Amino acid sequence: MSIASLTYDETVAVITMDNGENRQNLEFANAMNKCFKEALDNEATTAIIITSGGEKIFSAGVDLDWLGGRFQAGDTESMKAFMYGMNEVFKNCLLAPVPVIAAINGHAFGNGAMLCCACDFRFMKSDRGFFCFPEVDVNIPFMPGMIAFCKKSIPYHKFNEWKLTGKRVAAQELEESHVIQKACADKEELLAEAMAFAKTFKKGRPIFGEHKKRLHKEIIAVMENEDPKYIEPLNLMVS
């Protein structure tokens, strides 16, 4: 089973995460970046949808077992490569010259929720799944870049509430808070709505990419200038 695969519906590229809970480690980051490269190398691609092959979980966030194992082994280079690799995934979402749409078909926790926030648009099914930032309960602070791009997708007062409480948020509240385009009844409606929305985009890559580049200029600067201050010393947790 592949960690992530790329398929097409006409000119819409679909990146499907298909590794159980889709927990994020170095292999996950590499697989996602490979899919992005293949999708964007295809000049016919007009939009990208990110979804999960599972029924219950979109992405459960960072693979803490993998991260702990790398820490115990003293493999600091792999840990840093993972952090930078996930930042590349996020930057691919933020800067791709086509719309990137999250079709959230299950729980999106931690880095899984952040992946959704890095996308341009979001849809979520309402029959199963929560969106949650549990980091406050597991002693993991956000990277500065994560804070920056989450704020572009979530109204600040809601981000403040959800980040500091670790609240599990359902699709209806996400729709009411304008975080997602639509709370869909089930997986079938979710994928149909996300695909129909994706197919409305036939924008020129140069202008669409320039809009995103200028729109997210400050976010990218934070990721490139501030995040390394925490990644290089592996200042990833607070005790």
Average pLDDT over residues 83-95: 98
pLDDT above 70: residue 1: no
Q: Where are the domains of the chain?
A: 4-200
- Report the 3 state secondary structure along 47-110: EEEEEECCCCEEECCECHHHHHHHHHCCCHHHHHHHHHHHHHHHHHHHHCCCCEEEEECCEEEC
- For the stretch 19-39, pLDDT in tens is 999 999 999 999 999 999 999
CATH fit for domain 4-200, picks 1.10.3720.10, 3.90.226.10, 3.90.1150.10, 3.40.50.800:
3.90.226.10
Average pLDDT over residues 48-53: 97
Query: How distant, in Å, are the alpha carbons of 70, 140, 228, 229, 237 from that of 134?
Result: 22, 9, 23, 23, 13
The model's pTM: 0.97
**What percent of the chain has pLDDT above 70?**
100
- For the stretch 115-156, pLDDT in tens is 999 999 999 999 989 999 999 999 999 999 999 999 999 999
